Structure 1
Amino acid sequence: MTTAFAALTIPSLIAVVQGQPGFHAISPGTFISILYAGAAVATIVAGTAVESLGAMRTSQLAVLSCAVGLMMATEGSEVSLIAAALALGLGYGPITPASSQLLNAATSARNRRFVFSLKQTGVPAGTALAGALVPVMTVGLGWKPALFVVVAICASVVVGVHPLTSRLVTSPKARVVSRPKWWRAIGVALAHPYLRVLSLAAFVLGGAQMCASAFLASYFFGQVGFTPLRAGAMVTVANVCGAGFRLVWGAVADRGANPRLLLAGLSLAACLAEVVLASPGLMASFPVAAVTCAVLGSVIIGWNGVLLSEIADAVPASQVASATAGCLFFSFGGVMAFPAAFGVIQRLSGSFVVPWSMVAGANALLGVLLLSGMRNPIANSEAKASAVDE
């Protein structure tokens, strides 16, 4: 929650302070792209960091990196904001692999997917906090004091969790590997057919999720014709439903639903919601738009915990952080690639219909691929037996 809050702080205040003395804003899209590029790099080495430092110390350093990034941003120049985005990305990237390693050891198979999903609600919660609090603090205190408040929150989390580091330590591995360490996480993710499927799922679902977060408001305002307030409400509906259904899907998987079948269903449901969404005429009705965004958010934002728990189940306990990091590398790739392609297609076509339809097609293909493997499911024991031995 803290790293998501920190990551969305700058985009949340850019519109409020744009043009004010001492702040040379860059576009929120550019800032987020740089941040996720840094997160992708950090994710690759997160598995090694967890093995060397432990999950809690890695998490502490990640939050500290976010604090440093926000301190850099107080200088207010374009260069400092780019550096801040990189530092925030370096902090945002390792959190999920570290927490997956920790939670995999601390949970049982009967409740693991729900707990992973509960942890993943921290991302939309942190995003919502940034959107709700940062503009208010910026208007009331000024943009620099607002940044210092978030820095103080990050610092308090770093200090507050410190007593846990001596109790929750991941033992480092002594063996020297022949491959470069930066390649290890990707190597683990690509070593087994099921992990490759999960990496592809992370790429598509992560990219589709970011398209919904980045373009829903502009679509409803710019093409459907909603007021700014109503357009923003569609984003809120999608994120609230996404956060709530992360818990629902985790609980459903824990109660016996096949996780691969569940991920396939979520992807196909996202396809249907995006097909409906691509019709501006249907979306002109506020109730229809709200229901569509609720369905879209519940599936395209709600998948994370189920997929992360599947990754943890598919590899030996010692490789959970590395496998999670490798799969998330592809997820961050989708987060960077899908919105960029969406924006280009939208500008070339002059409409949101074509890009929404293309995202729907990607979700449909993923759903079919996941279903095609249902007759020969990959048992956890088989996956663990053939996982890469680092």
Structure 2
Amino acid sequence: MSVLVRTEGRETAAGAIRPQAGLSTASRVAAVTVLTSLPVFLPGAANGLICAELGWSPVRMGAVLAVYWLASLSGAFVSRRAALPPVVERTLSIALFATCLGLLTAAVAPAVGLWISSAVGGYAYGYTQPHTNALLMRRCAPRLRAFAFGLKQAAVPTATLLASVAMPMLAGAGGWRLVFAGTAVLCGAGGVFLVRQGMRHGIRPGHSGARHPAATRDRGAPLRVGTFLVALSCAGFFGAMVGNGLGGFLVLALTTRGVSLSAAGAVATAGAALNIAVRLAMGWLVGRVPQVAWAALTGLFLTGAAGTALLTRPGLGAITVGALLAYGGGWGWAGLLHYAIALPYAGQEQRATAYSQMGVSLGAATGPLMCGLLFQLGPDAAWWALTAAGSAAGACVLVARGHVGPRPDAGVSPARRRPRDSPRPA
């Protein structure tokens, strides 16, 4: 599982980077993203089994999941000031080892270990996400970058599906703890492989290759947090409220309305699969037609808002359409959002996307908690709140679009224009 990039080593021109190499890097980054996401999705899939064994309430399990996203927020906060290491795979290997230890602790001593796993795994996830964003921007061909971000972010709903499938299939035979332990072994094996690749291909002592021009230009330059970054980070906050609130309460809301558990599960599974397809499709589209990026990002948020509004309507047909729109649009924006933030900040992609990751992590923790409180008033109250959040996310994108650049055609494109309020090189 090698994800190797020399941020200060010899760099070829962006157009000369082989697309095949970029796709290989993106796929391996996606694999790491799946593994570091599982400390939050495995407990969610095993919610009933864990509560039955430990005597926990759903409220306590909800708090365990919220700890993951709050820890992710703190990891992204620290990452915004961290220097990008010479070989990013070393940082990813440490994240996998930390995730491994957390999952093993949850399997052996769940009463304490589940909290530790969420905290450690969430921090590792939040800290490494900006690192992998910078890796994709620097090692993927310009035409492939948007798709690479879509592939990476598609790993998150993929982790949800894997956890949902693995838990009922494997937990029956050996218990949910065995699933946690097996996942920990996979994380540990991935970490070992990354370490070996780093030792094999790492920068040699005394190596003095040419530096990436963007990294040299922006070294030590503080990242100004202007309207562009704030607006898109807020879009990530509101959008993550929708996606994670939907994932946590859709099945419960459907069964409360009398829909069978199997039908509710099928609707949620179809929505998650559509979400994966949308993230990949949007990356592919923007990679070929860059000028549609802003319209696509705004449209995704507003489509999600329309979907959550439809969830308030009676009838399985309206609810199914609403769920698909909410999943596809309301949670299909993630790759495109991080790409839009990274693109104008050549050499500072890690620092810029740390802010968007903080927004996403905070929204991921806030959405389920808000829905849990509003659900007591009725499912419709939660869906209307998420509709408002999706609409606010779309409005934030429109604000950010107005601060991309001084030219009328300024937007997300391989030209990597800087926002008007970002620091200019001397």
- Shorter chain as normaliser: what TM range? 0.7 to 0.9
Secondary structure of 1:383's aligned partner? coil
CA distance in 2, matches of 1:164, 1:101: 19
Deviates more, 1:237-246 or 1:138-147: 138-147
Residue identity in the other structure for 2:364: V
Compute the displacement of 1:145 (Å): 2.8
Give the match's secondary structure for 1:121: helix
Contact 1:204–1:362 (CA<8 Å) still a contact in 2?
yes
Alpha-carbon deviation of 1:49? Answer: 4.5
Name the stretch that deviates more: 161-170 or 320-329: 161-170
Q: Evaluate the alpha carbon distance shift between residue 250 and residue 370 of structure 1 in structure 2; reply closer, same or farther with a 3 A threshold.
A: same
CA–CA distance in structure 2, aligned partners of residues 9 and 372 of structure 1: 37
Alignment of 1:54-65 (within 5 A): 54-65=87-98
Whether the aligned pair in 2 keeps the contact of 1:274 and 1:360 (CA below 8 Å) is yes
Q: Secondary structure at the match of 1:161?
A: helix
Question: Quick check: 2:312–2:380 contact (8 Å CA) kept in 1?
Answer: yes
Q: Distance in 1 between matches of 2:187 and 2:160?
A: 15
Structure 1 unmatched ranges of 5 or more = 178-183
One-letter code of the match for 1:273?
G
Q: C-alpha distance in 2, partners of 1:237/1:100? A: 28
Does the alignment pair 1:269 with 2:303? yes
Matched, 1:209 2:234: no
User: Which residue of structure 2 lines up, in the alignment, with residue 116 of structure 1?
Assistant: 149
In structure 2, the residue matched to 1:311 is 341
* Cα distance, 1:216–1:246 mapped onto 2, change above 3 Å: same
Alpha carbons 2:312, 2:319 under 8 Å: kept: no
Summarize deviations over 1:136-174 as a string: whole Å, max 9, x none: 22211233333221111111111222344354779999x
The equivalent position to 1:74 in structure 2, one of 107, 128, 132, is 107
What's the CA shift for 1:102? 0.8
Partner of 1:220: 254
Given that residues 204 and 363 in structure 1 are in contact (C-alpha distance below 8 angstroms), is that contact kept between their aligned partners in structure 2?
Answer: yes
Cα distance change, pair 75–259 in 1 and its aligned pair in 2 (3 A):
same
1:150 corresponds in structure 2 to: 183
* Whole-Å separation in 1 of the counterparts to 2:259 and 2:345: 47
Say whether the 8 Å CA contact 1:195–1:314 is kept in structure 2: no
What are the residue-to-residue correspondences of 1:171-250 with 2, within 5 Å? 188=223, 191-222=225-256, 224-250=257-283
Q: Distance in 2 between matches of 1:339 and 1:111?
A: 34
User: Is contact 1:47–1:98 with CA below 8 Å preserved after alignment?
Assistant: no
The 5 Å alignment of 1:322-337 reads 322-337=351-366
Asked whether 1:300 is paired with 2:330, we answer yes
1:66–1:369 Cα change, 3 Å: closer
Aligned to 1:353: 380
The more displaced of 233-242 and 92-101 is 92-101
CA distance in 2, matches of 1:235, 1:141: 26
Tell me what 1:368 maps to: 395
- Residues 6 and 150 in structure 1, CA contact (< 8 A), matched pair in contact too: no
**How far apart, in 2, do the equivalents of 1:144 and 1:366 lie?**
38
Determine helix, strand or coil for the equivalent of 1:324. Answer: helix
Q: Work out the CA distance in 2 between the residues paired with 1:249 and 1:15.
A: 35
Q: Deviations over 1:93-151 (max 9, x none)?
A: 12321211111111122221111101111111122111111332221123333322111
Letter in 2 for 1:351: G
2:84 maps to 1:51:
yes
Post-superposition shift, 1:385? Answer: 8.3
Aligned to 2:417: 381
For 2:84, what is the secondary structure of its paired residue?
Answer: helix
Q: Does the residue aligned with 2:141 lie in a helix, a strand or coil?
A: coil
On the 8 A contact 1:31/1:85 being kept in 2, the answer is yes
**Are residues 1:133 and 2:133 paired?**
no
Determine if contact 1:316/1:384 at 8 Å carries over to the other structure: no
> Is 159-168 or 228-237 further displaced after alignment?
159-168
Q: Which amino acid aligns with 1:326?
A: Y
* CA 1:193–1:17: 2 relative to 1, 3 Å: closer
Match of 2:294 in 1: 260
1:343 corresponds to: 372
User: Alpha carbons of 1:376 and 1:130: their partners in 2 closer, same or farther (altered >3 Å)?
Assistant: closer
Q: Which residue does 2:319 correspond to in 1? A: 289
Listed one character per residue, the Cα deviations across residues 323-344 of structure 1 (whole Å, up to 9, x for unaligned) are: 1112111111111122222222
Quick check: 2:404–2:420 contact (8 Å CA) kept in 1? no
Give the counterpart letter for 2:228 in structure 1: Y
The 1:85–1:6 alpha-carbon spacing in structure 2 relative to 1, beyond 3 Å, is closer
- One-letter amino acid of the structure 2 residue matched with residue 370 of structure 1: V
The CA deviation at 1:25 is 4.5
Contact (CA 8 Å) 2:234, 2:359: kept in 1 or not?
Answer: yes
Alignment RMSD (CA, Å): 2.8
Contact 2:241-2:389 within 8 A present in 1 as well: no
- Matched residue type, 2:338: L
Q: Deviations over 1:14-48 (max 9, x none)?
A: 4225444xx46464312110111111111112244
Answer yes or no: is the 8 Å Cα contact 1:314–1:384 preserved in 2.
no
Most deviating of 194-203 and 42-51: 42-51
Query: 99, 116, 125: which one pairs with 1:83?
Result: 116
Deviation at 1:50, TM superposition (A): 5.3
d(CA) in 1 for partners of 2:85, 2:139: 19
Structure 1 residues 153 and 367: alpha-carbon distance in aligned structure 2, compared to 1, 3 A threshold: same
Between the two proteins, the alignment pairs up a number of residues equal to: 369
Task: Check 1:122–1:100 CA distance in 2 against 1; reply closer, same or farther (3 A cut).
Answer: same
Residue type of the alignment partner of 1:151: A
Q: Which amino acid is 1:338 matched to? A: G
